[in-house]
């Protein structure tokens, strides 16, 4: 549903940016000014055309990937053009309130467009460069229950978003870094795909790379809100929360060929450690229209043994803690992915990223591997979480 909301919004935003830019350029005596008008207009239009072409083209058309990737880059650049423009207009208005000097106000106006272009260009280039720089963040937590092991080393990742933004190169880098950690178990907390199986670069090779993940007990995953087979536009989906959506057979086949075990309201027990995987909190997948409550989840388990829950979204943390869960591992938030969106996460999630103790339960939320929408990260990191869980019961 978000695609229907945001598509016209960004078209209107483009029009505003173009109008403001032309208004400022008219103040300058620049040779070839009209050529600049047309070039800037073509750049703005090219993004819309690329996104629409990528959306309607057949998956067999090799240009589909080119248009879609360009559209994702353009989407991020436009976001920062808009942010810079709003900031510059606010500063200019403050200058007018303070000095009310027509000459200085006009001078500030002249520099507005220069600031907007430089800011958007620098931030966008950095964001694109930084997007796939994988960082390792380490945690060590204690659980006051006993198991057959003294500790469990977990490699936690989430939000791979395998598709047009994340391909073989990024997944190979992830696999290499995880294997260097020598984990006991690899956990993928949802959003393995980016909605469209057709976007996966060379599925056979992708499965081969994922099969190379090395751990003592294997790789376990839950499904996220993007692990469904549907069209997306600028990263936004068309299905609403609660709609009966489903992962495709091709996606499940790729996961099976990758030796990734999906836990769907089910659990495994490893050396007395219970690991439970929940469906996504809003898009339940596999045709279901609900999922078990935290109390019902724990009722299936032995509360005297350690309970680790994998939940794509860091949702119902207090309820899980009160039910008796010891550790909750999540993703979904991307830590906001681009500045300043990351700060909005603190208004939405009890634990937007990193570690938080909730009523005695350990909550760890990873910022993820991949990308949603704009092909960039600013103020956030793509990460792998290395977690050592000590059992001290």
Say if residue 152 is in the same domain as residue 207.
Answer: yes
Say if residue 111 is in the same domain as residue 205.
Answer: no
pLDDT at 4: 47
Say if residue 347 is in the same domain as residue 376.
Answer: yes
Is it the case that residue 191 has pLDDT exceeding 60?
yes
200 has which bridge partners?
Answer: none
pLDDT at 173: 96
Say if residue 146 is in the same domain as residue 20.
Answer: no
pLDDT digits (tens, 9 = 90+) for 84-102: 777 777 776 776 667 665 5
pLDDT at 63: 81
Among 99, 130, 161, the domain-final residue is 130
C-alpha torsion 200→226→278→320, nearest 10: 140
Higher pLDDT, 256 or 16: 256
Rounded to 5 degrees, what are φ and ψ at 78?
-65, -40
Domain that holds residue 39: 2-130
- Nearest to 210, CA basis, from 265, 160, 248, 247: 160
Is it the case that residue 203 has pLDDT exceeding 80?
yes
CATH number for the domain spanning 304: value is 3.60.21.10
Say if residue 327 is in the same domain as residue 231.
Answer: yes
**Total structural domains within the chain:** 2
pLDDT digits (tens, 9 = 90+) for 11-37: 666 566 666 566 665 555 555 556 665
* Lowest pLDDT segment from 107-111, 160-164, 367-371: 107-111
Give the confidence band of 248 by pLDDT, cuts at 50, 70, 90. confident
Say if residue 117 is in the same domain as residue 176.
Answer: no
CB neighbour list of residue 240: distance below 8 Å, 6 or more residues apart = 1
How far is the C-alpha of 287 from the C-alpha of 308, rounded, in Å?
25
Residue environment code for 95-112, b if the CB has 16+ CB neighbours within 10 A, otherwise e: beeeeeeeeeeeebbeeb
Mean pLDDT of 312-336: 95
Say if residue 159 is in the same domain as residue 121.
Answer: no
Say if residue 268 is in the same domain as residue 341.
Answer: yes
Say if residue 114 is in the same domain as residue 177.
Answer: no
Among 85, 111, 130, the domain-final residue is 130
Say if residue 205 is in the same domain as residue 120.
Answer: no
Among 130, 146, 178, the domain-final residue is 130
Is it the case that residue 232 has pLDDT exceeding 50?
yes
Say if residue 262 is in the same domain as residue 180.
Answer: yes
pLDDT at 237: 61
Say if residue 211 is in the same domain as residue 171.
Answer: yes
């Amino acid at each position: 549903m978000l695609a229907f909301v945001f598509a016209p919004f960004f078209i209107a935003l483009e029009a505003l940016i173009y109008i403001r830019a032309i208004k400022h350029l008219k103040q300058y005596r620049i040779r070839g000014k009209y050529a600049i008008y047309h070039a800037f207009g073509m750049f703005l239009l090219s993004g819309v055309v690329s996104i629409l072409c990528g959306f309607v083209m057949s998956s067999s058309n090799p240009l589909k990937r080119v248009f879609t990737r360009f559209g994702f880059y353009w989407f991020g650049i436009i976001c920062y053009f808009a942010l810079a423009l709003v900031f510059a207009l606010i500063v200019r208005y403050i200058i007018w309130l303070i000095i009310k000097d027509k000459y200085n106000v006009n001078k500030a106006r002249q520099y507005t467009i220069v600031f907007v272009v430089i800011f958007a260009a620098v931030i966008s280039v950095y964001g694109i460069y930084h997007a796939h720089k994988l960082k390792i963040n380490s945690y060590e937590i204690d659980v006051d229950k006993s198991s057959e092991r003294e500790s469990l080393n977990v490699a936690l990742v989430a939000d791979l978003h395998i598709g047009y933004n994340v391909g073989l190169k990024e997944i190979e880098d992830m696999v290499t870094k995880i294997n260097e950690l020598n984990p006991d178990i690899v956990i993928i907390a949802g959003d393995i795909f980016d909605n469209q199986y057709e976007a996966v670069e060379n599925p056979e090779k992708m499965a081969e790379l994922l099969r190379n993940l090395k751990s003592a007990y294997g790789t376990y995953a839950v499904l996220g809100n993007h692990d469904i087979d549907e069209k997306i536009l600028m990263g936004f989906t068309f299905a609403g929360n609660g709609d009966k959506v489903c992962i495709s057979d091709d996606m499940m086949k790729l996961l099976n060929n990758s030796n990734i075990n999906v836990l769907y309201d089910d659990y495994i027990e490893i050396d007395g450690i219970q690991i439970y995987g929940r469906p996504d909190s809003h898009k339940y997948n596999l045709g279901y229209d609900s999922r078990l409550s935290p109390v019902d989840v724990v009722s299936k388990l032995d509360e005297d043994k350690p309970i680790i829950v994998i939940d794509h979204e860091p949702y119902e943390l207090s309820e899980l803690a009160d039910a008796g869960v010891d550790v909750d591992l999540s993703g979904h938030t991307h830590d906001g992915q681009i500045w300043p969106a990351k700060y909005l996460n603190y208004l939405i999630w009890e634990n937007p990223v990193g570690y938080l103790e909730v009523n005695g339960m350990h909550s760890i939320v990873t910022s993820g591997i991949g990308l949603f929408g704009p092909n960039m990260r600013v103020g956030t990191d793509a990460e792998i979480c290395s977690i050592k869980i000590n059992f001290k019961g």
